[in-house]
Amino acid sequence: MGLWDSLMGRSRPRQANLDSLFLVPSAAITLQTTLGLVPTGDGSVCYRGAAGVAFAETEDEVVELLRSTGDAPDVRVTRDEFGYTWVEVDREPGSGVEGLCTALHAVNTALEAQGFGPGLLCTVVTFEDPTGRTLGLVYLYKQGTFYPFVPTGPQQRDNLMEIQVRNELAEELPVEQDLSRWLAIWGAPGLRPGGAR
């Protein structure tokens, strides 16, 4: 940041640090021991797709890369009602969150390396409590921070649970402090309202 920006009170936004995704396995242990939340094996990366052959080829290469690993997860590319694309990575529950985080990191890194980083929005790792309620641990690419999202019904969320998760993980992850950035990601893959199955 230059002197002029400093004098004008401008600051640069926090940059993405994709390696923060590798902090999630430790956070998963905390979520399990303190709140009974376990990883479902599901995760996803959300981005705004770009037009053109280069982007389509990059997307195809990412999917093929994930499918070619020894313990290949189930990988799907879907588009939501808002026009965003989701690369869904589904592993067996109990297979450990480390492999899932590695796969999600690979998706982000591949898109970023090909110049599509500005289209990256978020990465979600899904957890579940004993009643079947799901929680998404959301990584905001442009902020380099995490926040919890707990859907409870159509256009409803459990703010109290989200705050509780934030407090539990404050020492382990770079948690987003600006609550206005805790976006509701309705219909995100792997997140079910309430205890619905």
Q: Using one digit for the tens of pLDDT, what is the confidence trace for 35-50?
A: 999 999 999 999 987 7
Token pair, residue 91, equals: 């592993």
Distance CA 149, CA 138 (A): 7
Distance CA 185, CA 94 (A): 25
Distance CA 125, CA 135 (A): 8
Check if the beta carbon of residue 88 is closer than 8 Å to that of residue 44.
yes
Answer yes or no: is 71 within a domain: yes
Distance CA 185, CA 177 (A): 18
* pLDDT tens by residue, 103-156: 999 999 988 988 888 889 999 999 999 988 999 999 999 999 999 999 998 889
- pLDDT at res. 197: 44
Check if the beta carbon of residue 122 is closer than 8 Å to that of residue 46.
yes
- The rounded mean pLDDT for the chain is 86
CA atoms within 13 A on the CB side of 186: 8
- Whether the predicted pLDDT of 70 surpasses 70: no
Q: Which range is least confidently modeled, 56-60, 150-154, 155-159, 167-171?
A: 56-60
Answer yes or no: is 105 within a domain: yes
Answer yes or no: is 195 within a domain: no
0.95 surpassed by pTM:
no
Tokens 């309620």 map to which residue? 133
The DSSP line for 16-49 is P-GGGGGGHHHHHHHHHHHH--EEEEEEEEEE--
Answer yes or no: is 170 within a domain: yes
- Whether the predicted pLDDT of 194 surpasses 70: no
Distance CA 148, CA 37 (A): 12
Answer yes or no: is 1 within a domain: no
Answer yes or no: is 193 within a domain: no
Smallest CA-to-CA distance from 140 within 83, 181, 90, 189 is with 181
CA atoms within 13 A on the CB side of 61: 13
Domain encompassing residue 132: 16-181
Q: CATH code at 47?
A: 3.30.70.600
- Whether the predicted pLDDT of 18 surpasses 70: yes
| Domains: count for the chain | 1
Average pLDDT rounded to a whole number, residues 94-111:
88
Distance CA 190, CA 168 (A): 22
**Element (H or E) spanning 151, and its range?**
strand 151-153
Answer yes or no: is 2 within a domain: no
